[in-house]
Every structure is written in structure tokens, then in C-alpha cells.
Structure 1
């Protein structure tokens, strides 16, 4: 299975987690990485190139830090410009049908803060519903997310374990419910 990880971090050099994950990816030839902010610093997305990347991969993972309970702005723009009517959805669109799509997300808050009783009031699964809805809308299959919480408490051991766990997740995660 060919996997594409679309990394959307506005300043990857300052991110210990996302940067460590990228370094781990570079050790694996079967994972393609597309860094949106590095590829498009002017935010002018090459739609055809991005669509070709999607077409040539079976599994797509959107990796980003949680931004005000959403995606970073460039990923939202990517959704708007790349997932076009007639290509990703609509009566004759089949380019994303059957793809497996998931999210890998890092948060500053603790795991406990992303519970109904926590300070954020919602679970990450609930916060990620818009991405899940998007995946369903384009006739792809949504994968359970991978997350790393409490990014402020970094240790080398935790970074290494998280990177290995993420690779394992990408390679082994199964859809929770198949798309109808």
C-alpha cells in the first residue's frame, strides 16, 4: 500500500513532534511526504501536482498540529483547491473513491483535556468530525486518527516512541467503518 503523508505545519523547524515524525519517515522508502508550507510558501497550490499525488497513493494521512480546533489555514485552502467537483466528488468523480484517509495530529493539551469533562469539552474524535465528513463526502474511507497530546512535555524517549508508534499506525491502521 502506497502511503502519502501531507504535512501541514507552518513552522516545522520549531516543532519537536512533527519534525521528529518527519525524520522517522525519511528512514522509510514506502512513505511519501509532502510538506505543504515548504512546497508552497506563497500558498499558491499546484492543484494538478497535488491531485497526481493523491491518485498515485492508496492511503493519505493529513498530519498537522491542532489549530484552534481545526486544521492550519493552508490545509483548509488545500481542501478547497484540490478536492474539486468532478475530480473528488460529483456524479463522475472517482479519483478519491476507495482511498483510505486519516489524520495524525499533535496537541498542546493533555489527553485528559480532550474529554467531555476536560477543559476542551470535546474528544479529538469529535473535533475531527469535519475531516471525517469530508472524507465520506469524497467517497474515501476514514481511518482512525493518530494523536500525540501534551506536546509541552517532551522527552527524547517519548519522541522516539511516538515516531515508531506513528509509523506502526500508518502501516497497520484499519478503517473503523467501511464507506458505503
Structure 2
């Protein structure tokens, strides 16, 4: 079965990294389903049953998003609140995420060195993303960690080194998902 990649980016057209990653995944439609929440729900009204069916039709689940004020964009939080329901995702009969391989793919504006105890932000992405880890754990999913691109706000799209870094990152992302 395929991997479902839920992308939540409030301005995907202006994105560089998330857009590049999505384009890379779309090259392999036999392996990945790319589902853009902002495109699917521009009004913010999520079709919970449709989303649950989409998850059930895939073997793995990846949430892709930019780190947004050290969390996720609001639509992803809403999606988690509405889609991962009692009796479906958790609870005595909620088993739809149980043992499902899950992961995150995130872009961070800050540099990797900023996300350390000694760095500017004093916390690593592993710590900042722990609510997702805990959510998947609570639902019995097999959480496989995250793939990250650091320094997005410092990069220049016209720089050849940056373009190489972006291509390497996109291929690394595909490899990460394939190893879930």
C-alpha cells in the first residue's frame, strides 16, 4: 500500500522547500498520495469521514508542514482535533492508527545549530515536536520520528548551492519515507 502525505502549508505557492518536496513526491504516484489540506479545505471545513477513509486506504502516514511558531500551522492542529476521534483513532475501540507507521516532515526557518540547548532557541526540534510523538503514541501508532530541513528563512532561491541543497533534501525526504 501507499504512503499518505498530508501537507499543511498556508501559502504553498510561495513555499520553496515544502513545494519542492511535494513536487518530488508527485513523481512517484504509485508510492505516495500527496494531500494538501489548504487546497482540499480552503474554507477550513474538514470532511472528517473522507479524511479517515483516506488514512485507512494507506499503510503509512506522514504529516508535512513548516514549523509555525514552534508548532504546526493551525489547519493541521484542527485536522488532528477533528480527524483523530475517540472510537476511531483511540479509545477502547479506536484502532485505526494502531501500528500504522507515522512520521513528520518539517521545515524550520532557523538553522540546525539554533535548535540546540546552546543555540538561540534552546530546544531541539525533537523537543518541540514531542506533542506529535505523544499524539501518535497515544493512538498506538508506530511513530518513526521526523525529517527536517533547517535554515529555510536564510536560504536564497537563486543561489546554486541552495538549489543543490534543496535537491539533496528532496531526495533525502523520499529515502526517509521509503525507510518507514
Equivalent residue number for residue 61 of structure 1: 62
Cα distance in 1 between the residues matched to 2:24 and 2:54? 21
Give CA deviations for 1:43-66 in whole Å, capped at 9, x if unaligned: 000101100011111111100000
TM-score (norm 1): 0.94
Mapping for residues 65-144 of structure 1, pairs under 5 Å: 65-144=66-145
Cα distance in 2 between the residues matched to 1:112 and 1:145? 17
Aligned residue-pair number: 173
- Which structure 1 residue ranges, 4+ long, deviate > 3 Å from structure 2? none
**1:159 Cα shift?**
1.2
Cα distance in 2 between the residues matched to 1:113 and 1:87? 38
Give CA deviations for 1:45-88 in whole Å, capped at 9, x if unaligned: 01011000111111111000001110100000000100000111
Give the match's secondary structure for 2:34.
strand
Selected match of 1:164 from 148, 156, 171: 171
Give CA deviations for 1:146-168 in whole Å, capped at 9, x if unaligned: 00000122421111111100000
Mapping for residues 32-51 of structure 1, pairs under 5 Å: 32-51=33-52
Equivalent residue number for residue 155 of structure 2: 153
Kindly indicate whether the alpha-carbon contact (under 8 Å) linking 2:115 and 2:123 is maintained by their aligned counterparts in 1.
yes
Unaligned runs of 5+ in 2: 157-161
Equivalent residue number for residue 20 of structure 1: 20
Cα distance in 2 between the residues matched to 1:59 and 1:119? 34
Taking only aligned residues, the RMSD between alpha carbons, in angstroms, comes to 0.9
Equivalent residue number for residue 9 of structure 1: 9
Cα distance in 2 between the residues matched to 1:84 and 1:93? 8
TM-score (norm 2): 0.94
Give CA deviations for 1:7-49 in whole Å, capped at 9, x if unaligned: 0000001110001011111110210011001110000001011
